[in-house]
Structure 1
């Protein structure tokens, strides 16, 4: 059974980047809407909660029932994800005086915490938030701070649940990939036995088994998703696939001709 990390998407513009970083660790992950957690999937080994354009106290903010995942999987909340867990479990999240956007450095961190294995002193991180965690829930502890953000990283005591205010997935968090590796590999236990190539082979085999001699019509938009679907189906069923690319009149100049040539 293929292990997987689930990323619950709360609408962050960097959710796909989090997924990319996890896959670069040779670990399969699925990005799912915040309210679509696969409760009966035994292959899940960990959960990441993404950022969001909302504040946790907004009426429109996306929310989940943490009881469905807490205590069952290691959890890492990033930015909104960290604020949401703190706010939901009894902490305080309030508007910061000014939006903090840009480079910061860890003024202190718990060197013994598994999330910071291999970290260097004053490691540079990247902040992007308008709210801040002013009080942690009972039973939670601060494990890293910057000069401006006291609760930059926290953990629930005796529990594999972490919240990170900065964005480890972006390039400017210099050791961000290491933090994700510590979570995905050391904490969640990824065997790092997944690759994009193995995903293609597995998917093609599954398509062959599911479709058999069936014929398939696929609408192509010219985008990545439908193009990848076409390639995988073509590898699986060959001439039994018919693709249709429609010039609907809303394409850019010469786009229909250029995309059709590429296809």
Structure 2
């Protein structure tokens, strides 16, 4: 059975990420972000959202485990910051419904979504520049970089929260990530 660990970066929806994976039949566990990377046995990792970069624990260390990683909101920002991209304050700020335009219909994480999909996202901070090797895969009128992928390294990020009911096609994002982990 596929095992995906959710790294808890203290976000208010983190438990819903674990539940979404569990409901899709995945062996999943929620682990604190201070867990030793050597203690993590998984086919994939979700870096959860959270309040800020000051509370990400050992999240950067999990990028070296050679398994697919899905960064959600703060998790995506961790990917960008650690791998040479740039993160900064968003112009919009708090949570809101946003229409995301999918820029790459071949992307394994979000390419199967509708060309424009409604999501629930926070834009207090956001990725301003993707790291080398990443492709910009989703955008909105609120945030230029709503999603990014590095298919060579199996690293993916979305600014929005696929785990909440307000996000259309959120379950499909998790299904696609499971498929990535099973390859």
Q: Same fold (TM over 0.5)?
A: yes
Show the counterpart of 1:64. 58
Show the counterpart of 1:81. 75
CA shift for structure 1 position 139: 1.9
Q: Tell me if 1:47 matches 2:45.
A: yes
Show the counterpart of 1:123. 117
Show the counterpart of 2:171. 177
1:67 to 1:147, Cα distance in 2 relative to 1, 3 A: same
More RCO (CA 8 Å, sep 6+): 2
Bigger CA drift: 19-28 or 92-101? 92-101
- Return 5+ residue gaps in structure 2 as ranges: none
Once residues 71 and 149 of structure 1 are traced to their aligned partners in structure 2, the CA distance between those partners, rounded to angstroms, is 30
1:16 to 1:40, Cα distance in 2 relative to 1, 3 A: closer
Q: Tell me if 1:187 matches 2:180.
A: yes
Q: How high is the TM-score relative to the length of structure 2?
A: 0.91
Counterpart selection for 1:108 from 79, 95, 102: 102
1:22 to 1:131, Cα distance in 2 relative to 1, 3 A: same
- Higher helix content, 1 or 2: 1
- Higher strand content, 1 or 2: 2
Q: CA RMSD in A?
A: 1.9
Within 5 Å, which residues of 2 pair with 1:223-234? none
Partner SS state of residue 116, structure 1: coil
CA shift for structure 1 position 148: 2.0
Show the counterpart of 1:33. 32
Partner SS state of residue 12, structure 1: coil
